[in-house]
Every structure is written in C-alpha cells, then in structure tokens.
Structure 1
Amino acid sequence: MYSLTTRSRLFRPRVSIGPHRITLGKTALAALPSPNVEDSGPWFELGARRFSYAEEHYFGNPGGYLRWVVGMSDAGSPLTPPVGCNGDARAAEDVAAYRHAARINSVLVIGPAIDLEGVLPRGIAPDLDTVRLLELRNPARVALTTRYYSAKTAVERWKHRNREFREGPLP
C-alpha cells in the first residue's frame, strides 16, 4: 500500500489508473466512473477541522489487479471539503455534485490483502495529526515562488515592448 498526495500547484503528477489517466490537483473526481455504492464506498468524513473523501476503483487486469482509491484530503491541495455530504452515502445528488466540483489530490494504491474498512477514509493521505508536513510559507518555497513570478512578469513586459515596437507608437 502506498499513497501519493499533492500539496502544491507546482507538483501535479500524472497517474495512470487502469485505463484512465489523471493529474493530481487538476482532474475532477467525475472524470472517473462513479463508485458502485452496493460494493463499497464512497467514504467521507467531515469534522470540526479535518475532512476526507475517498472512492475505490478496481479495473482488473488494466489496473494491475490492484484497488485504486482516489479522493480529497485535508493534507492535499486544492481543498474541497465534502460539505454537501451529510453522512449519508446514499444521497446520490450530493455526491454527484461534489464529484464534479472536487479535484483529486490523493491516490492510494492497495493490494488485495489489505482491508479497506480499516484504512479509509483518512488513510488516503498523510494524517495531519501524526505527520508534520512542510509549511506552505517555507522560506525556500517563498524564494522559488518569487523568482517564478518575477521571471513571468519580465517575459510579459518583454512581449508587451516587442508588440509596441512592431505596431509603432499610438497616435
């Protein structure tokens, strides 16, 4: 069992899940088939300060005979808590609306010997009560972001000057 979670818009890995290809932090949950409610899931939890949503997918041979769990976690980014889900997994309209709005920020790959009920929904990503993660405003991250946006601004200014040069001065 292993998990992959994105916490930044700079880290958007592409992951193949059976016949589907997703980008963490970008692909909506609705891009994957709806989970079969009779078999298992979706699992969701909404607390005072923590939330998570997870749904299982099994694709047989194309998925490597593994169970793929995708969803949202408060450990990842972007954050979309399952507000419309009132603890009732059968409220299909709430879950369908949430699946269209939420972006997948976590993927969990599970072998056949592990029981999902003991892992989900919180096990889809690192547990923020036991794992300490790099703070979003880390000095290294701030320096990297500053350099990125200053370079982007310089390129935009250069393009604007070239456009003015080609078109000539305005009357």
Structure 2
Amino acid sequence: MDWLSALADMSKIMGGVVAALTLIGTVTGWWKKGPGRRRTWTKNFKQLAPGVRPAYVEALFGEPAFELAVPVLSITPGTGSRLGLTERVWPLATEGYLTTWSGESDVVAYSLTTTSKRFKPKIRIGSSWDSTRPALNVRLGRTRLAQVSTALDLPHPEEIASWKGARRHEYYEMYYFGNPGHYMTWACGVSGTGYRAGEAGAMERLGPENSAFLRGDLIEKLPVDQRLALDAYRAHAVVNNLMVQGVERVSICPEVPRSGPDHDLVRTLEKPPGFLGKIKVRRQLRRLEGRPAVWERVQHRLTGRFRR
C-alpha cells in the first residue's frame, strides 16, 4: 500500500537524520577534545567574570587538579581584609593552566597561563566593546609587556609586582579602566610557570623598603639603573599569563606575589618527554655541564685513530 511505502521512506529518512546527528556529535566532541580544544579553552575563559560561583567554573572546565588555601592581601580601600582564598588549578592538557582564587561563594580572581608555543589565546583587555576608550587584544605567548601600555595609551601601569629568587621569579602589571572596563582589573604577567618565562631574565623587587609592589607613578622616581633595567625588561618580556580581578583587588601570596599557579606545585604533573624530547634535554644538559656532544666525541676518536 502507498501509505506503507511512505512510512518506510519516512523511517529511512529519520534513520539517516539520526545517523547524521550522531556523526556530527562524535566529530564535534573529537574536535573539542582534540584540535579545537585550544579554541574551547579560550572561549570558556571569556565566559568567566569576577563574582561567578566556583561551581560555574567547574561546569566549563571540569574538576580542578589542585585545591589549596593561599594567603591574600586586600588592597582595595573600604573592602576589609581577607585572611585567605581557595586556589584551584586546572591543567589544560600540557599547554596551559587555568587558576581561580575564590571565597566561600564567589570567584575573586582568575587567570590563564600558556605553557606551549601552540597555545596562544587572544584576550581583550581595557574598555568594553560598546566604548570608544582604548582596548587591546593581548595574545599570550606573543605580546610584549611594553606593547600593552603603548596600545592602551597609558604612561605606565597602575602597579607593578616583581621579585626573583634562586630558582623562581614572577612579574605582572595591573591595568584598570573604571566603568568603561566594567570595573575590572587586568594583570598582564610573566609567570615562572609559563611559556618563554625566563627569556628576558627577571626583575628584582622594585617597591619601597624592598617591597615586591611598586605604584606606577613611582616608576619615574626609580634610580637610573633600575629604570633602564625595567625598560629593557618590558621591551623584551612576553606576556604568558593574564589575571582578571573585579572591584575588590587582592594580592595573591603578598610576600612572593604571583598571577598564575605555583610552579613548584604544578610541575609535579609534568610528564616525561618522548624519545626525541629526551635527546634534546640530554643535549642541553651536556651543554650546561660543558661536556662534548656525541658527534664531537665520535669525531675525536676517529681523529685519534687516523693519527696513529
């Protein structure tokens, strides 16, 4: 009967639609977890904002790998003081980290760090899209510190945090734009955990009385040698970390401030390199120790045989 044939044809069409949707879902899931994961991380990071619930972050990124209490110092007048916040860290495969600092019910600050040349997210800072005030798309792993203040048409950052130790170092600059920037503060930093961290060296503490913090208007009053060193550093150092804060400004771990995860903590998750990676690491270690490369040793032995 005609109606039976029509029903059979309809069943075939529906089966094809279901199969196509299943295939699309499979390909989409593969893309988000594979080649397109960097785009997904960046998209999800842009959906965050100061004040969101920690559960909202987990809905976007899953469960964090680390959760620990860290000391903080509130630096916004009239907001009171905080004894500490909960820091949560999400490894983004082997290419970066998402870090949040939260109170009991809200995210006070959050940051994105790149650890790979392949992960270079572009994030807008400054005034919002509906404002004519300056703004800049910072590309982590590529934009240099000096480019930030120049593009934003500012004489200097609002504040600088810097320090270096025997093994580690941190640096970041804070920028605030009031209402055009939704009262958010951005910290463009060079995290010791991130990509190209030590390429430009490191900056000592620049603040008064050996403080790690220096107000931007005091940059001009630095001794000449420190000012020249800072200018050279900012001209070469690449932003590998971006932290966002809201109305309440805080300094994370104020004695040794940072805008990204603790390197000594997250490096415990580092995986051993592959075969070619091990060869590269061993070559670098030989150079640091002043030992000859393998081909140099072979050449030396062959030269010695011919001389005999």
TM-score (norm 1): 0.69
Equivalent residue number for residue 135 of structure 1: 270
Residue 14 of structure 1, CA deviation: 0.3
2: CA distance between counterparts of 1:134 and 1:92? 38
User: Could you tell me whether the CA contact under 8 Å between 2:251 and 2:257 is conserved in 1?
Assistant: no
Structure 1 unaligned spans of 5+:
143-171
Helix, strand or coil at the partner of 2:258: helix
Shift of residue 117, structure 1, vs aligned partner: 6.8
Counterpart Cα distance in 2 of 1:122 and 1:72: 12
Answering whether residue 207 of structure 2 is matched by residue 72 of structure 1, we say: no
Matches within 5 A, 1:40-59: 40-59=158-177
Cα offset, 1:135, TM superposition:
2.4
1:27 and 2:143 equivalent?
yes
Name the aligned partner's letter for residue 12 of structure 1. K
Aligned CA-pair RMSD = 2.5
Equivalent position to 2:180, from 36, 55, 62: 62
Alpha-carbon distance in structure 1 between the residues aligned to 2:232 and 2:271: 29
Question: Which protein, 1 or 2, shows the higher relative CO under an 8 Å CA cutoff with sep ≥ 6?
Answer: 1
* Unaligned segments of structure 2, at least 5 residues: 1-108, 127-134, 150-154, 208-221, 278-308
Q: Does the 8 Å contact 1:6/1:105 carry over to 2?
A: yes
Task: Tell me: CA distance 1:121–1:26, structure 2 relative to 1, closer, same or farther (3 Å).
Answer: farther
The amino acid that maps onto 1:30 is A
Secondary structure of 2:232's aligned partner: helix
Question: Do the aligned partners of residues 104 and 84 (structure 1) sit closer, same or farther apart at CA in structure 2, a change above 3 Å counting?
Answer: closer
Distance 1:114 1:44 in 2: 17
State the identity as a percent.
Answer: 34
- TM norm structure 2: 0.40
Shift of the alpha carbon at 1:65?
A: 1.1
Q: Deviations over 1:2-50 (max 9, x none)?
A: 01000000100001011111100000001111534xxx53111110011
Is residue 2:111 matched to residue 1:3? Answer: yes
Match of 2:230 among 87, 91, 95: 95
Structure-2 change in CA distance of 1:84 and 1:48 (3 Å) = closer
**Runs of 4+ in structure 1 over 6 Å off:** none
Count how many residue pairs are aligned between Structure 1 and Structure 2: 137
Q: Which has the higher helix share?
A: 2
Relative to structure 1, the CA distance from residue 17 to residue 44 in structure 2 (aligned partners, 3 Å threshold; closer, same or farther) is: same
SS of 1:49's partner is: coil
**Structure 1 residue 118: Cα displacement:** 4.9
Shift in CA distance, 86/74, structure 1 to aligned 2, threshold 3 Å? closer
Deviation per residue, 1:52-92 (Å, 9 max, x gap): 11110012233221110011011000123664634335322
d(CA) in 2 for partners of 1:117, 1:9: 26
